[in-house]
Structure 1
Amino acid sequence: MLRFSTTKVVIMLAVTAFVCLLAVPNLMAPDTRTAIRQAVPGWVPSWLVPTQAIVLGLDLQGGSHVLLEVDSNDLVRSQVATLRDDVRRVLRETRVAPQGGIVAMPRGVQLRLADAADVEKVMPRLRELSQPISNAIIGQTGERNIDITANGDSIQLTLSQAGVDERVRRAVDQAIEVLRRRVDALGTTEPNIQRQGADRILVQVPGLQDPQRLKEILGRTAKLQFRFMAEGGASPLEVEMMPSRDSGGQMMPVERRVIVEGEDLTDAQPAFDQRTGEPIVNFRFNVRGAQRFGQATSENVGRPLAIVLDNEIISAPRILQPITGGSGQISGNFTVEQANNLAILLRAGALPAKLTIVEERTVGPGLGQDSIEAGRLAAIVGTILVAIYMIACYGLFGVMANIAVLINVIMILGLLSALGATLTLPGIAGIVLTVGMAVDANVLIYERIREERRMGRSVISALDAGFSRALSTIVDSNITTLIAAVVLFLLGSGPVRGFAVTLSVGIVTTVFTAFTLTRLMVALWFRTLRPTTIPL
């Protein structure tokens, strides 16, 4: 165990030096890192010239904090509208005409049919609209999302409370993914986006000191629709009034029929109009959207096409020729920032429901600086006390252990920099914990060497047995800790995941430094001095 070939020694030292080199950018100013990154030729791999520093979390560098709430009333209205369309489709397929139309209620719809025979005819199809509610843990709950009641020639379909709750839960899950894509498009690192309660979402973006832009990105539903402007003679039931941005908010008639929706978009990028130079957004449809858009524009050349975003007409260009290529552009007197924000919203997708801002605040960097100083002081004091203890208990071998611990911490910082991980206060706590774990591994080795020496083994035999027999104990204890760290990462969020990442990286470097580097230093000490006793 104490024999090292020259090749093995070179590889070990090269790996250690390279990982430690990854931590160097943390000592550089941001401008210096940027200058180095720009000076390096493009053909040089980025890992050869590391310029990535550790990203500080919201609690260390400040940023924006926003708490959002799903508007359940808006979600119910959307469900009622969908339910009304589904009922209309069923009546059309069964060829049954309601008397007085389909009446929308706060939590459902109601219709009256001509006679009981029509009720018996449509009820089986209407019951198909009511779906059972399932749970990921217990499966079927026995409840349904729509309650259907019939009283004579009257039928009422009502959204159940369990169905609304389930829809809110799914809306929160979907909104979290949409918000994550939007925040990632801002170029920030490691945002914390998580569920809070049944219908709220917490968004924390480290380093972003412009909460207004964050609110604009997060608060917009971004529900994009392409509809035709209503013409004279259209039925009032098929027309909807909407404000037009081009007309200064004046209400304009738009057909209720939606040609294509934003979910059929595959890409949206900000650009500039080649004729006018104004900012625009170029978009591209998927195959289904391209076919529907091409057919609609081919059959309605000369008609104005309303581009509706969140129930507002942002542009209404006239169709001059069929648009069959599956792409187009949106213009609406945008500024450059508005065009860029709109492109981000469209690429990320629409929110399933309106989100209202419950709480917002900007965390100043002053609080972060205080936290950094407190965490740094705790790490320094803890490390010094551990170093003193190791030297007092193990003498020269304690010095070797302290050197290995120091290299261990530098390697942790290097790997965190390479991974682009975010360092938070719990992350600093993870580093301090790793120092204790690294020392614990050395203690196991040294105590095993002492035990072997007391059993009468020679110096070389005791050293060799101490490292070889302590290895399994070290690996087993660190694997169990690694499993706990992985569970924390998978089930936790925000600072908890930051702690898990730091702890996981620390476990890997601890095993490497405690068993490999410490063993190398002991082997060099033995080969150089050829001692007859072990100073333990």
Structure 2
Amino acid sequence: MLQISTWKRVLIWAFTALILFMAVPNLFYPRVESHNDALKQIEAAGATPELQEAVSAWPSWMPSGLLNLGLDLRGGAYLLADVQVEDVYAERMNGYWPEVRDALREKRDTVGAIRRVDGPAGELHVKIANPEARAEAIETAKGVSRPILSLTGVGSNDIEVTGQGDTLIVTLSEAEKIATDDRTVKQSLEIVRRRVDEAGTREPSIQRQGETRIIIQVPGIGSAQELKDLIGQTAKLTFHPVVSRTSDPEANPGARNLLVPSMDESGTYYIIEETFVVSGDELTDAQPSFDQNGRPAVSFRFNPTGARKFGDYTRDNIGSPFAIVLDNEVISAPTIQDHIPGGSGIITGNFTIEESTNLAVLLRAGALPAEMTFLQERTIGPELGADSIEAGRIATIVAFIAVLAFMWLSYGLFGIFANIALIINVGLIFGLLSIIGATLTLPGIAGIVLTVGMAVDANVLVFERIREELKTARGPSRAIELGYEKALSAILDANVTTFITAAILFALGSGPVRGFAITLGLGILTSVFCAIYITRMLIVMWFERRRPKTIEV
């Protein structure tokens, strides 16, 4: 006999009602979206009457999670960037020079005087006075190497040292270059994500593609150029001692010095020491603010290490100018008036409020480790997104009507039960997508449409098994029970294989392919749930109420 215990019925309906309840905000998308945006703005900048009105437009006791719309549905900007990982090699070699120099100085009696000479980018060239001691100098320089911390470089060191005449050549090993490239792209990926998140954009998609490329998709942003302005700068902040000022752009800065222009376009150039005192990597916070004259500025704070360096330098160099350099331009060169022990300060310049805000965002997010070259850029207008939504809505409605009509004509009353479960199924998909905060794209809509077509497969298997059992002259109750029992294995086999395909698409795909895989995978889960539990529950409730002697499927 058909038996479903009361606690199972309560649990199934409660679970279904909860997920459908979480899908309700999507029926009032603009209102709930304004409510959520207003809450974020109040948290960031305080309440205003307009924001309070937007918050009150949606009840606080209702769920407010929405199905996020992707780039092709909302409009926005798309960038494909290539990270110039080779830029990092030169910086790594500059960082190794003090260690190599100190190690060779300990062998001065053997190798003689040492000095650094110019070489290709990514190589450190060190000239020794005694070429006969080149082998010993090479071994000494190799002593500063470190083992590579990566799976691909186990057992290898990070530098290679060779000799040519009286010159040592230090380069990164191939294994270290591979590890460095991977770290550089991962760091760039994280910094881009932080910069985009800081700007308050809605559900960006930032993914790695291949070895050195990054795909950046930001729905709702005005243009690709706006996105490039946000993430395209390296925002490398350093603090350097100032040697002198000049108006000659061809001036010779001298050994280990740099000639850097002023950001204010006044024609002033600064000669600064190449070695910085403190870098932006040691910043812990940066906020837009105003200076003592009420002009836009950026206040900053260092971590303990940076604060100690900054404090020691300002203590020992009172009365000396101090250059604040952003991306190889001097944005400010104040004179140190007093000891600054707290590790905090303020950057002044010819900023607008918007420029000071953007600079603070860039400094908080950190410096990009390498320059990014943009290979592709696209701006997708909101009108195109609206057309995509409309096309997806029409496709879903047509698929719905076709499937509902087919099930009703093929299976009569049982087909109506399956149709009710199908409607619940679509509601469950939207509820689950809202709960996990998924982003719906045009391929995602295709996944939902495909799910609508596939959702009745399980019911078709069950109903055909019930038909066969009715032919054996069994009673209707036993026929329904055996129909579900014998169809269960076929239902699970068919859906498990499709779910595996969706999982592979999600694991190996990116962007729209993942969107399709998510909706397809969730659709499979909800379809099986509705076929095994919801449709069966409806049939059992009808059977208990009517007690028919015969049934027709």
Identify the TM-score tier after normalising by the shorter chain.
0.7 to 0.9
Q: Which moved more, 1:338-347 or 1:88-97?
A: 88-97
- CA deviation profile, 1:235-276 (whole Å, cap 9, x unmatched): 932432212225735211222222222222222232334x33
> Structure 1 pair 30/309, CA: closer, same or farther in 2 (3 Å)?
same
Aligned partner of 1:245 in structure 2 is 263
Structure 1 residue 119 and structure 2 residue 137: aligned? no
> Structure 1 pair 478/327, CA: closer, same or farther in 2 (3 Å)?
farther
Q: CA deviation at 1:145?
A: 6.5
Q: CA deviation at 1:106?
A: 4.0
Tell me, yes or no, if the aligned pair for 1:98 and 1:111 is still in contact at 8 Å. no
Aligned partner of 2:281 in structure 1 is 263
Tell me, yes or no, if the aligned pair for 1:268 and 1:284 is still in contact at 8 Å. yes
Q: CA deviation at 1:362?
A: 0.9
Q: In structure 1, the residue corresponding to 2:77 is in which secondary structure?
A: strand
Counterparts of 2:202 and 2:363 in 1: how far apart (Å)? 21
Q: In structure 1, the residue corresponding to 2:103 is in which secondary structure?
A: helix
Q: In structure 2, the residue corresponding to 1:65 is in which secondary structure?
A: strand
Structure 1 residue 418 and structure 2 residue 435: aligned? yes
Aligned partner of 1:63 in structure 2 is 76
Tell me, yes or no, if the aligned pair for 1:245 and 1:314 is still in contact at 8 Å. yes
Amino acid at match of 2:117: I
The one of 139, 148, 153 aligned to 2:161: 148
Counterparts of 1:198 and 1:40 in 2: how far apart (Å)? 45
Counterparts of 1:178 and 1:474 in 2: how far apart (Å)? 46
Aligned partner of 2:232 in structure 1 is 219
> Structure 1 pair 390/89, CA: closer, same or farther in 2 (3 Å)?
farther
Counterparts of 1:497 and 1:67 in 2: how far apart (Å)? 18
Q: CA deviation at 1:404?
A: 0.7
Counterparts of 2:492 and 2:54 in 1: how far apart (Å)? 40
Structure 1 residue 523 and structure 2 residue 540: aligned? yes
> Structure 1 pair 228/370, CA: closer, same or farther in 2 (3 Å)?
same
Residue ranges of structure 2 left out of the alignment (5+ in a row) = 40-51, 246-252
- CA deviation profile, 1:398-424 (whole Å, cap 9, x unmatched): 111111111111221233233332111
Aligned partner of 2:476 in structure 1 is 459
Amino acid at match of 1:179: V
Tell me, yes or no, if the aligned pair for 1:84 and 1:102 is still in contact at 8 Å. no
> Structure 1 pair 266/500, CA: closer, same or farther in 2 (3 Å)?
farther
Q: CA deviation at 1:126?
A: 2.1
Q: CA deviation at 1:119?
A: 2.2
Amino acid at match of 2:138: M
Tell me, yes or no, if the aligned pair for 2:72 and 2:384 is still in contact at 8 Å. yes
Q: In structure 2, the residue corresponding to 1:22 is in which secondary structure?
A: helix
> Structure 1 pair 378/277, CA: closer, same or farther in 2 (3 Å)?
same
Structure 1 residue 109 and structure 2 residue 124: aligned? yes
TM-score, structure 2 normalization: 0.84
Amino acid at match of 1:315: S
Counterparts of 1:527 and 1:252 in 2: how far apart (Å)? 90
Counterparts of 1:169 and 1:252 in 2: how far apart (Å)? 35
Counterparts of 1:412 and 1:470 in 2: how far apart (Å)? 24
Aligned partner of 1:435 in structure 2 is 452
Q: Which moved more, 1:121-130 or 1:356-365?
A: 121-130
Amino acid at match of 1:241: L
Q: CA deviation at 1:300?
A: 2.7
Aligned partner of 1:236 in structure 2 is 254
Q: CA deviation at 1:530?
A: 0.7
> Structure 1 pair 291/491, CA: closer, same or farther in 2 (3 Å)?
farther
Q: In structure 2, the residue corresponding to 1:493 is in which secondary structure?
A: coil
> Structure 1 pair 184/478, CA: closer, same or farther in 2 (3 Å)?
farther
Q: CA deviation at 1:60?
A: 2.0
The one of 437, 442, 450 aligned to 2:467: 450
Counterparts of 2:472 and 2:457 in 1: how far apart (Å)? 23
Q: CA deviation at 1:396?
A: 0.8
Query: Equivalences for 1:65-84 in 2 at 5 Å?
Result: 65-71=78-84, 74-84=87-97
Q: CA deviation at 1:429?
A: 1.5
The one of 169, 176, 180 aligned to 2:189: 176
RMSD of Structure 2 on Structure 1 (CA): 3.4
Counterparts of 2:439 and 2:305 in 1: how far apart (Å)? 40
Q: In structure 1, the residue corresponding to 2:243 is in which secondary structure?
A: coil
Tell me, yes or no, if the aligned pair for 1:2 and 1:519 is still in contact at 8 Å. no
> Structure 1 pair 280/15, CA: closer, same or farther in 2 (3 Å)?
farther
Counterparts of 2:102 and 2:259 in 1: how far apart (Å)? 23
Amino acid at match of 2:24: V
Tell me, yes or no, if the aligned pair for 1:192 and 1:493 is still in contact at 8 Å. no
Counterparts of 1:7 and 1:40 in 2: how far apart (Å)? 41
Counterparts of 2:482 and 2:399 in 1: how far apart (Å)? 31
- CA deviation profile, 1:308-342 (whole Å, cap 9, x unmatched): 21112222233333333333332323222222222
Q: In structure 2, the residue corresponding to 1:415 is in which secondary structure?
A: helix
Q: In structure 2, the residue corresponding to 1:23 is in which secondary structure?
A: helix
Tell me, yes or no, if the aligned pair for 2:101 and 2:114 is still in contact at 8 Å. no
Aligned partner of 1:388 in structure 2 is 405
Q: CA deviation at 1:231?
A: 6.2
Counterparts of 2:53 and 2:487 in 1: how far apart (Å)? 48
Tell me, yes or no, if the aligned pair for 1:307 and 1:315 is still in contact at 8 Å. yes
Q: Which moved more, 1:74-83 or 1:217-226?
A: 74-83
Aligned partner of 2:342 in structure 1 is 325
Aligned partner of 1:304 in structure 2 is 321
Structure 1 residue 500 and structure 2 residue 517: aligned? yes
Q: CA deviation at 1:480?
A: 4.6
> Structure 1 pair 149/400, CA: closer, same or farther in 2 (3 Å)?
same
Q: CA deviation at 1:62?
A: 1.8
Aligned partner of 1:54 in structure 2 is 67
Aligned partner of 1:289 in structure 2 is 306
TM-score, structure 1 normalization: 0.87
Residue ranges of structure 1 left out of the alignment (5+ in a row) = none
Counterparts of 1:313 and 1:342 in 2: how far apart (Å)? 14
Amino acid at match of 1:64: A
Counterparts of 1:259 and 1:65 in 2: how far apart (Å)? 38
> Structure 1 pair 360/40, CA: closer, same or farther in 2 (3 Å)?
closer
Amino acid at match of 1:302: G
Q: Which moved more, 1:177-186 or 1:81-90?
A: 81-90
Identity of aligned residues (%): 49
Counterparts of 1:324 and 1:476 in 2: how far apart (Å)? 69
Aligned partner of 1:354 in structure 2 is 371
> Structure 1 pair 369/231, CA: closer, same or farther in 2 (3 Å)?
closer
Q: In structure 2, the residue corresponding to 1:150 is in which secondary structure?
A: strand
Q: In structure 1, the residue corresponding to 2:550 is in which secondary structure?
A: coil
Q: CA deviation at 1:66?
A: 1.8
Amino acid at match of 1:30: P
Q: CA deviation at 1:478?
A: 3.8
> Would you say how many aligned residue pairs link Structure 1 and Structure 2?
529
Q: CA deviation at 1:148?
A: 3.5
Q: CA deviation at 1:459?
A: 2.0
Structure 1 residue 337 and structure 2 residue 348: aligned? no
> Structure 1 pair 483/181, CA: closer, same or farther in 2 (3 Å)?
farther
Counterparts of 2:187 and 2:244 in 1: how far apart (Å)? 37
Q: CA deviation at 1:49?
A: 1.3
